[in-house]
């Protein structure tokens, strides 16, 4: 069996995933607060709100505190001359080999949260799908994009 890839993504990926999760959880917390206000105004039972608060607290802990760290530990990648090896997943581990000959183009992308931490993601497109290596340092993402592009071009010339 093949050994796991050796490269990890940037440490700040945990912070960016936590911020993203907090933004999504904010919607859930605001919905719960609206439910509380409506319950008080219309004199509904408050046990619905209590259950909502409990669920929000559990989901907040799981998605903001637990999953980003576990996700970071599982994300690995490695670039070979003939293929790209990507491994990720928490409960179900996905190990993907992308042949260089199938790579159509490689991009880097960066949203506002990644930009704050000087991170970027590399997307690798094939005819069938797009693969992503998230949250690399900007310099590493650029050099990785250039390296994959160069290796894919060499493979196309060999065909």
Per-residue pLDDT tens for 74-127? 999 999 999 999 999 999 999 999 999 999 999 999 999 999 999 999 999 999
Number of Cβ within a 10 Å radius of residue 40: 11
Contact 124, 149 (CB under 8 A): no
Contact 146, 138 (CB under 8 A): no
Structure tokens given for 13: 């990926």
Name the percent of the chain lying above pLDDT 70: 96
Structure tokens given for 72: 């970071």
Contact 139, 122 (CB under 8 A): no
**pLDDT above 80 (res 37):** yes
pTM comes to 0.85
pLDDT for the residue numbered 2:
84
**pLDDT above 80 (res 58):** yes
pLDDT for the residue numbered 154:
57
pLDDT for the residue numbered 159:
43
Structure tokens given for 75: 């994300």
Radius of gyration of the chain (CA): 21
**pLDDT above 60 (res 158):** no
Q: What's the first-to-final CA gap in the chain, in angstroms?
A: 29
Q: Per-residue pLDDT averaged across 30-57, rounded?
A: 93
Per-residue pLDDT tens for 4-19? 899 999 999 999 999 9
pLDDT for the residue numbered 121:
97
Q: In what order do the strands lie in the sheet with 119-125?
A: 105-109, 119-125, 130-137
Extended beta strands in 9-145, E state: 76-79, 83-88, 94-99, 105-109, 119-125, 130-137
pLDDT for the residue numbered 147:
95
Q: Which of 71, 129, 139 is nearest to 99 (CA)?
A: 129
pLDDT for the residue numbered 141:
96
Q: How confident is the model at residue 157 (pLDDT cuts 50, 70, 90)?
A: low
């Amino acid at each position: 069996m093949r050994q796991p890839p050796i490269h990890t993504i940037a440490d700040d990926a945990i912070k960016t995933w936590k911020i993203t999760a907090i933004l999504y959880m904010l919607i859930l917390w605001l919905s719960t607060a609206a439910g509380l206000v409506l319950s008080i105004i219309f004199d509904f039972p408050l046990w619905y709100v209590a259950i909502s608060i409990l669920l929000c607290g559990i989901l907040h802990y799981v998605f903001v505190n637990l999953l980003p760290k576990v996700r970071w530990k599982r994300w690995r990648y490695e670039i070979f001359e003939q293929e790209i090896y990507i491994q990720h997943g928490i409960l179900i581990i996905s190990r993907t080999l992308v042949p260089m000959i199938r790579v159509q183009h490689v991009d880097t992308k960066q949203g506002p949260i990644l930009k704050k931490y000087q991170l970027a993601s590399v997307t690798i497109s094939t005819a069938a799908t797009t693969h992503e290596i998230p949250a690399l340092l900007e310099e590493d993402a650029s050099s990785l994009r250039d390296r994959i592009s160069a290796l894919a071009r060499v493979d196309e010339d060999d065909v």
